[in-house]
Amino acid sequence: MSDMKGKKYFLIASLILISFCGFSQKFEGLALTPPMGWNSWNDFGCDVNEDKIKEVADALVESGMKDAGYEYIIIDDCWHGERDSLGFITANPEHFPSGIKALADYVHSKGLKFGIYSSAGYKTCAGRPASRGHEYQDAMKYAEWGVDYLKYDWCGTEGLKAEGAYMTMRDALYQAGRPIVFALCEWGNDNPWEWGANIGHLWRISGDIYNCFDCEFDHGGWSSWGVLQILDMRKGIRKYAGPDHWNDPDMMEVGNGMSVNEDRAHFSMWAMLAAPLIAGNDLRTMSQETKDILTNKEVIAVDQDSLGIQGFKYKIMDSVEVYVKPLADGGLALCFLNRGKGSQNVEFDWSQNTITDDVFDKKYDFGATQYEIRDIWAHEKAGTTKKELKVTVPGHDVYMIRLTPKKK
């Protein structure tokens, strides 16, 4: 046999072997920037039905959120009905009489994408039928219905190992053949940042968010967490995040009852963290202030920056923390977060602050390079780094700026 022929046979044999082994992987490239969209859980909880979801999809378009980059409409827990006689999952017939396929078609007709929820255990967190033992059947159904995003929870998983359980669903989705963003919702119990990148596109790093800026809500045995509490969790995991594999500090509570300052700070910090921006409020009734926060394109640009580097805490100045996020254009975003309730004056002398990011090998030397400053909440220029920065940051609020290297 000639050498060429030998190579050819070897290639064909390898391909056959790979297809017999059911070679599996995640669908690559579906979340090169953090996913953006809306999820039903934070405001609606189990009170979901097809009319509401359609109205929210309409509102997402009409409010300008679609133009600002929000894409996914995701139904969280409680859409489920029973499994049929063959074990296939169905939708709750009372709340989703037209079925999930019709709803997904509606969402798609708006130029949006459609997401759904299940759990790796026998039951979802609200006690609905979950995917354990039915992973391949569920993945087939999702593909048939036109699902584009799966949030996969961790309730009811007694005896399971997280990495293996999530791998099973990843493989099932891959075999079903429809590209679906895979969002791991394992709450950070088993360090998903260490193994999640080959399995999904994002992973929750914490228990559930609670609609408060600075609190822990004890449910008796488990807690939900305020914005600052989530921000302070899991130090040192930013190195694991990047395009197509994100740390997820949970869906947003913007518009759900915090003050406007707090909502602004929450949104800004999620952008600094390169977090998925999944709104969790009722888009049909939101105030103009909420809309303005959620659609601030300059903040969104920081979140969606193509470099995909998660920001870090650079400095603490009394109640103000300074966060830094390197950006693709050679610039950076800075966010002065006032954790205190009272306002605080900030003086920041650029010549005294060379910022280095050792994890991603970045250095910003303001003595060597001058930067233009843009205030991205006021939407205006704010001088350069030649002059010391002096601002007052209100309580539970931020001063957020974008720095771009000045052209010589």
Report 37-66 residues binding ligand GLA (CB under 6 A): 41
228 near ligand GLA (CB under 6 A): no
Q: Given 43, 138, 148, 208, which residue is catalytic?
A: 208
CA distance 95 to 245: 34
77 near ligand GLA (CB under 6 A): yes
138 near ligand GLA (CB under 6 A): no
Interacting residue with ligand GLA among 73, 125, 373, 403 (CB under 6 A): 125
Supply the DSSP string of 255-311, one letter for each residue.
TSSS-HHHHHHHHHHHHHTT--EEE-S-TTS--HHHHHHHT-HHHHHHHT-TT-PPP
DSSP E strands, 10-156: 36-39, 72-74, 80-83, 89-91, 113-119, 149-153
51 included as an active-site residue:
no
Using alpha carbons, select from 174, 173, 200 the residue that is nearest to residue 186: 200
How far apart are CB 199 and ligand GLA at their closest, in Å?
18
User: Are the beta carbons of 271 and 231 closer than 8 angstroms?
Assistant: no
User: Are the beta carbons of 272 and 311 closer than 8 angstroms?
Assistant: yes
# chain residues binding ligand GLA, by CB under 6 A: 9
185 near ligand GLA (CB under 6 A): yes
Pick the closer one to ligand GLA by CB: 246 or 366: 246
Pick the stretch among 124-132, 160-168, 188-196, 390-398 that binds ligand GLA (CB under 6 A): 124-132
Residue 151 backbone phi and psi in degrees, to 5? -95, 125
Pick the stretch among 15-23, 119-127, 195-203, 309-317 that binds ligand GLA (CB under 6 A): 119-127
208 included as an active-site residue:
yes
Q: Given 153, 171, 244, 397, which residue is catalytic?
A: 153
153 near ligand GLA (CB under 6 A): yes
Interacting residue with ligand GLA among 61, 102, 126, 260 (CB under 6 A): 126
User: Are the beta carbons of 209 and 224 closer than 8 angstroms?
Assistant: yes
Using alpha carbons, select from 300, 210, 285, 302 the residue that is nearest to residue 253: 210
The set of catalytic residues is 153, 208
